[in-house]
């Protein structure tokens, strides 16, 4: 009850509940709104291109029909009166009378634009859009600090929950051998919204979101975010992704010289098997007595041990980031420079002049890569690739370079990326 109580006390002191503007009312955004409301906080406005999703989000909360408008003054009047408000124009969010903008579209280009404008308007930003963070996260964090506000990726997704295990291990002075997650979808590198449509319908999911899971993009993005936030390296381009179980993590993820899969330690990777939907950290101690104590505590024979969290609660857990921001001024997951990139590999042949779609679409999948390797090969971050146009014919399974495509230089995400590169972050 700690955060509930503190938030209630602060709201009483402020004379009103804390308000959020939620941008994106799909599966993740809808879940966030429902749980945030249960913390005693106010979902003041929901922005989504589909008015029916705005209405559904407020229906979930039992708040009735929202005022839907693209006029900031009308929306602010509704917010002040305590009436639910909605807009189909996400750019309005930064000018509304709210404390935090929560970005939950999952589209890197849209998210970067929304978050940039919110931060410049001195609004705290909490994001479920890891796709944007692995592309321009350092720049967004820098802008947040320049404007005296907070920016963070949310709790609930694997990067934040794995980072908490890393922090815990470091606080206890263990050596962090590696950190990672379990992947619970089959790896189908050429999957797209059509090939996963039936499965998506059964899961009540957006097929584009499911395709981003099955083609590997989401895992690559999440583990890159974890690497960037912790300073851990990537094992290699695309990672290893071995089979492992909850009981064999410490045996699989140890150095090759000792029978494991790691060429070096201090890295991130993922595994398949029964580990999903959990996250984990493999640690080592050089203390014989601590190793003995860990063995006594049923953690295995040592000296390698696995700290395992068997779940991540996605949008249900995400509101904790906003609570920590408002109560403690704490940012759950950020980075000030990139350790990794998520580059793009084509999922089909592209003809010269053909336009690329976004993550989870038909065009390309994400591949995690060390920054130095991506730069050496002139590879394009997948977060910049939406609406890019192929300059020449490209084969399937081709890593896309800057020479291959004409990027959308008018996009906010492109401009932020160029500024980020100029700063060397």
**Residue 391 to residues 143, 381, 399, Cα–Cα distance (Å):** 33, 17, 14
pLDDT at 329 over 70: yes
Residue 186 confidence (pLDDT) above 90? no
Mean pLDDT score of the chain, rounded to an integer?
A: 97
Q: Are 316 and 36 in contact (CB under 8 A)?
A: no
Q: What is the pLDDT of residues 236-265, one digit of tens each?
A: 999 999 999 999 999 999 999 999 999 999
Across 162-169, average pLDDT: 98
Q: What's the pLDDT at 185?
A: 86
The residues pairing with 298 across neighbouring beta strands, listed in sequence order, are: none
Please state the three-class secondary structure of the chain as a single string: CHHHHHHHHHHHHHCCCCEEEEECCCHHHHHHHHHHHHCCCEEEEEECCCHHHHHHHHHHCCCCCCEECCCHHHHHHHHHCCCCEEECCHHHHHHCCCCEEEECCCCHHHHHHHHHHHHHCCCEEEECCHHHHHHHHHHHHHHHHHCCCCEEECCCCHHHHHHHHHHHHHHCCCEEEEEEEECCCCCCCCCCCCCCHHHHHHHCCCHHHHHHHHCCHHHHHHHHHHHHHHCCEECCCCCCCCECCCCCHHHHCCEHHHCCCECCCCEEEEEECCCCCCEEEEEECCCHHHHHHHHHCCCCCCCEEEEEECCCCHHHHCHHHHHHHHHHCCCCECCCCCCEEEEEEECCCECCCCECCCCCCCCEEEEEEEHHHHHHCCECEHHHCCCCEECCCECCCCECECCCEECCCCCHHHHHHHHHHHCCC
Domains within the chain, CATH numbers bracketed:
2-156+316-328 (3.40.50.720), 158-311 (no CATH), 340-422 (3.90.1210.10)
Q: Which two tokens stand for residue 247?
A: 């009981």
| CA proximity to 46, closest of 38, 54, 36 | 54
Higher pLDDT, residue 389 or 40: 389
Work out the pLDDT band at 1, boundaries 50, 70, 90.
low
Point out which residues pair with 284 in neighbouring strands. 175, 304
Q: List the structure tokens of 346.
A: 């084509």
pTM: 0.96
Query: What is the mean pLDDT of the segment spanning 160-176?
Result: 98
Q: What is the pLDDT of residue 162?
A: 98
Q: Reply yes or no on whether the pLDDT at 179 is more than 80.
A: yes
pLDDT at 210: 95
Assigned token pair, 30: 């809808």
Q: What is the mean pLDDT of residues 360-379?
A: 98
Percent of the chain with pLDDT over 70: 100
Residue listed under structure tokens 């390309």 = 364
Q: Taking residues 289-314, report their average pLDDT.
A: 97
Question: 125-157, pLDDT tens digit by residue?
Answer: 999 999 999 999 999 999 999 999 999 999 999
CA atoms within 13 A of residue 137's CA, in its CB half-sphere: 33
How far is the C-alpha of 86 from the C-alpha of 93, rounded, in Å? 10
Instruction: Please report the pLDDT score of residue 39 as a whole number.
Output: 86
Sign of CA dihedral 244, 341, 209, 313: positive
At 78-131, the pLDDT tens digits run: 999 999 999 999 999 999 999 999 999 999 999 999 999 999 999 999 999 999
């Amino acid at each position: 009850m700690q955060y509930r109580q503190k938030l209630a006390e602060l709201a009483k002191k402020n004379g009103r509940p804390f308000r959020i503007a939620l941008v994106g009312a799909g599966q993740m955004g809808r879940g966030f709104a429902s749980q945030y409301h249960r913390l005693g906080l106010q979902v003041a406005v929901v922005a989504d291109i589909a008015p029916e999703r705005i209405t559904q989000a407020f229906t979930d909360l039992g708040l009735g029909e929202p005022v839907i408008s693209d006029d900031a003054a009308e929306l602010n009047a509704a917010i002040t009166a305590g009436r639910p408000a909605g807009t189909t124009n996400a750019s309005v969010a930064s000018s509304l009378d709210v404390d935090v903008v929560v970005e939950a579209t999952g589209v890197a280009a849209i998210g970067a634009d929304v978050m940039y404008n919110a931060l410049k308007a001195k609004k705290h930003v909490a994001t479920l859009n890891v796709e944007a963070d692995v592309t321009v996260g350092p720049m967004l964090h820098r802008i947040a600090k320049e404007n005296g506000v907070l920016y963070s990726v949310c709790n609930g997704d694997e990067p934040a929950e794995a980072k908490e295990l890393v922090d815990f291990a470091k606080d206890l002075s263990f050596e962090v051998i590696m950190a990672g997650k379990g992947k619970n979808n089959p790896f189908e590198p050429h999957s797209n919204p059509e090939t996963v449509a039936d499965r998506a319908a059964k899961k009540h999911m957006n097929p584009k979101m499911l395709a981003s899971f099955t083609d590997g993009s989401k895992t690559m993005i999440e583990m890159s975010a974890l690497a960037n936030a912790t300073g851990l390296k990537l094992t290699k381009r695309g990672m290893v992704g071995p089979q492992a179980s909850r009981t064999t993590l410490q045996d699989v993820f140890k150095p090759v010289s000792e029978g494991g899969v790691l060429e070096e330690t201090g890295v991130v990777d993922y595994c398949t098997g029964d580990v999903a939907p959990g996250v984990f950290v493999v640690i080592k101690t050089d203390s014989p007595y601590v190793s003995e104590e860990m063995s006594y505590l049923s953690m295995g024979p040592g000296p390698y041990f696995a700290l395992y969290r068997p779940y991540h609660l996605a949008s249900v857990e995400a509101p904790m980031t906003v609570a920590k921001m408002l109560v403690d001024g704490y940012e759950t997951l950020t980075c000030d420079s990139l350790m990794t990139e998520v580059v793009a590999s084509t999922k089909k042949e592209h003809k010269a002049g053909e336009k690329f779609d976004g993550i989870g679409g038909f065009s390309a999948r994400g591949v995690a890569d060390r920054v130095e390797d991506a730069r050496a090969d002139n590879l394009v971050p997948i977060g910049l690739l939406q609406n890019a146009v192929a300059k020449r014919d490209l084969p399937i399974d081709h890593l896309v370079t800057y020479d291959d495509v004409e990027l959308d230089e008018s996009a906010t995400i492109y401009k932020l990326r160029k500024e980020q590169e100029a700063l060397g972050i």
